[in-house]
Amino acid sequence: MSQKILEKSSSSIAHANLNNVDDMGKHFSYDRYVQELVWFDHGKINAAYNAVTKNAYSARRNKVALYYESDEGLKEKYTFQEVEERSNQIAHYLKKMGVEKGDRVFIFLPRVPELYFSFIAALKLGAVAGTMFSAFGPQALFDRLDQSDAHVLITNKELSQRLDSVRRKLPHLQHVLLTDGNFGAHYQNESKDFTCARTNEDDDAFMLYTSGTTGKPKGVVHGHRAIVHQYLTAKWVLDLKEDDVYWCTADPGWVTGIAYEILGTWANGASTVVTAARFDPADWYRIIQEYKVNVWYSAPTAVRMLAAQSDTLHSKYNLSSLRHLASVGEPLNPEIIHWSKRAYGLPFHDNYFQTETGGIMIANYPSLPIKPGSMGKPFPGIKVHIVDPEGNALPPNSIGRLTFEPNWPSLMKKLWRRPHKYDSYFMKMCPSRKKLYVTGDLAYIDEDGYVWFVGRDDDVIKTAGERVGPFEVESALVAHPDVVEAGVIGKPDELRGQIIKAFVVLQEGVWGNEKKKEEISQFVKKNLAGHAYPREIEFVDKLPKTRSGKIMRRILKAQEMGLPIGDTSTLEEY
């Protein structure tokens, strides 16, 4: 990995919400910042109140909270006061339907305003909001609605048809409410005033289902206290300010869409842009120009796709409003960071977290010099340990298990009805017996305290006795001018134990033949290492990815080996 540092200008440091992450980390305590949020008597807090209601009863009431564009070009905007009133009306309607504290209310909608109103409404009631990708099919819907015993599903007429074949097997699902049916027509007749539930900080607030390598998706549950970490990370990592127009391209079916499109964003008073349209580079640049977006948060896949376009496309648009760019979902390749700096005058800042952590854990901050390819440094207060399988701490530059001391507010509370699986996320550190949360990822920390992602615990390739991280090889591959994307796996080999096999998406118009394979292979061998190059390359039209942009290497490996590919409900069309 490149150790070259992209230095920050003094002006970017001076205007950042967090000027020095190292100094803050020395004396950080959440207790010093919790009062920036609204708490009720007896230590109670409601995440929806802090995201919306507090703004609706302040000078921000008439500030636009949500800019929305449909896939057909319809444009709408809603102030904090209007989001407050719409969510209050939905909360009243749900209450009439018998929804009580702790009941699961699931939302199966494309990115439309009702998704955001309904999510906030469920939290105001003290119910548990669950979000699902609009691309889910019947089996994915059934797995989630059945395992969660969801009481209510909010969807639309078109998407509800996918429920038809499994509805009879969901006895707990009492109501299916259609936003373009009676529900959509009637909830607006409800009162615009609603008393938000005074929930305990540990009460269930929202849940998301995440897939593993085996078995059914697991329901990750977060409490209302998660907003403490989401608020601070949005403020310090994404550098959100109350006069910002902010665009997070994630879907709320993914944790990023909840933490950094709804809760953390609105808790900081920023306006959020939502579009239902599919990815289109020209349209994305138009959105930034038209809404004067200041902070842009996206996925590495999208950034790589933008980089694959004409180098002159972005120059046709006025992107001068942009102040800060960030990315999450898959580590950013160094070449893409350098491209972003050339194209926009700003680098994308990689950061790291998981559905289970509920918020950003490691980041490249606006004021922190970037080491391209690194995830950055831990968020203040987050204690990172790189350990071996027995829990022994490893020295700098040693690859091991990435773990965190479980001391931050947005750590998952539980896995819904899977306590033993939940317990498997934790281990004891040796010799202190300190409890650690285990991410399942491998990483190392360099001598400057920067954390470097290597791969999933089961993704690391051992070839001829050498450990090779797939991300490092993928970064080298996409640095080739003809390569758009790449996914790398270890393929069993009698001589070397494993060889590196790469699945490569080429630039449009580039012919994929044996000569091109050899050229790319030698390019990696020359630029990375003599042992860390792909001995096999397969050209593909696209890679299997989650809708959050993560390349699903386990699917590539399963297909290569002729093995079952496991749960694919979070897989984008492939």
| pLDDT given for residue 496 in this prediction | 80
Residue 106 has pLDDT above 50, yes or no: yes
pLDDT at residue 308, as a whole number: 83
Question: How far is 466 from 83, CA to CA, in rounded Å?
Answer: 55
Strands (E), 464-496: 466-468, 483-493
Mean pLDDT, the chain, as a whole number?
92
Q: In this predicted model, what pLDDT tens digit does every residue of 380-404 receive, in sequence order? A: 999 999 999 999 999 999 999 999 9
Residue from 228, 272, 237, 269 nearest 47 by CA: 228
* CATH superfamily to which 10-363 belongs: ANL, N-terminal domain (3.40.50.12780)
Return the pLDDT at 574: 56
Query: Residue 520 has which token pair?
Result: 């790319």
Domain with CATH 3.30.300.30 in the chain: 461-561
Lowest mean pLDDT of 6-20, 282-296, 440-454, 471-485, name the range.
6-20
Instruction: Tell me what pLDDT residue 278 has.
Output: 86
DSSP letter string, 59-85: TTTTSEEEEEE-TT--EEEEEHHHHHH
Boundaries of CATH 3.40.50.12780 in the chain? 10-363
CATH fold of 461-561: GMP Synthetase; Chain A, domain 3 (3.30.300)
Q: Please confirm whether the linkage preceding 431 is cis (ω < 30° from 0).
A: yes
Distance (Å) of CA 236 to CA 16, 67, 211, 265: 8, 23, 29, 12
pLDDT for 1 equals: 39
> What average pLDDT does range 50-59 have in this prediction?
98
pLDDT given for residue 369 in this prediction:
96
Q: What pLDDT band is residue 476 in, cutting at 50, 70 and 90?
A: confident
CA distance 223 to 46: 9
Q: In angstroms, how far is CA 115 from the centroid of its own chain? A: 18
pLDDT bracket for residue 56 (50, 70, 90):
very high
Provide, rounded to the nearest whole percent, the portion of the chain with pLDDT above 90: 77
Average pLDDT over residues 120-141: 92
State the average pLDDT over residues 548-553.
83
Output the pLDDT for position 300.
85
Is residue 342 a contact partner of residue 327, using CB atoms and an 8 Å limit?
A: no
Residue with tokens 């997070």: 248
Higher pLDDT, 475 or 18: 18
**11: exposed, middle or buried (Cβ count in 10 Å: 0-12, 13-18, 19+):** exposed
- Across the range 527-535, mean pLDDT stands at 84
Which of these, 354, 402, 400, 16, lies nearest to 210 by C-alpha position?
Answer: 354
Bridge partners of 387, per DSSP, are 393, 401
pLDDT higher than 70, residue 214 = no
348, β-bridge pairs: 325
Average of per-residue pLDDT across 164-174: 95
Cβ-contact 87, 226 below 8 angstroms = no
Which pair of structure tokens corresponds to residue 398?
Answer: 């040693």
In angstroms, the CA 83 to CA 74 distance is: 18
φ, ψ of residue 463 in degrees (nearest 5): -120, 125
Could you give the CA distance from residue 51 to residue 86 in angstroms, rounded to a whole number? Answer: 14
Specify the CATH architecture of the domain 381-455.
Answer: Roll (2.30)
Residue whose token pair is 């893409």: 336
Residue 13: per-residue pLDDT = 63
Per-residue model confidence (pLDDT) at position 14: 65
Q: Which helix (H) or strand (E) holds 170?
A: none
Give the Cα separation of 451 and 215 in Å (integer): 30
3-state class (DSSP) for residue 25:
helix
Burial 487-509 (b: 16+ CB within 10 A, else e): bbbbbeeeebebbbbbbbbbeee
pLDDT for position 2: 41
Higher pLDDT, 429 or 455: 429
Question: CATH 2.30.38.10 spans which residues of the chain?
Answer: 381-455
Residue 407 tokens, joined: 């001391």
Question: Of all helices (H) and strands (E), which one includes residue 325?
Answer: strand 324-327
Tens-digit pLDDT profile for residues 322-342:
999 999 987 888 989 999 999
Residue-wise pLDDT tens digits, 485-504 = 999 999 988 778 889 999 99
Under 8 Å between Cβ of 455 and 466: no
DSSP labels, 284-319? HHHHHHHHT-SEEEE-HHHHHHHHTS-TTSGGGS--
For 179, 232, 352, 376, 514, the CA distances from 509, given in Å and listed in that order, are 43, 45, 34, 36, 16
Residues 242-264 have pLDDT tens digits of 999 999 999 999 899 999 999 99
Instruction: Give the tens place of pLDDT for each residue, 457-470.
Output: 877 787 876 778 88
In the prediction, which pLDDT does 343 show?
95
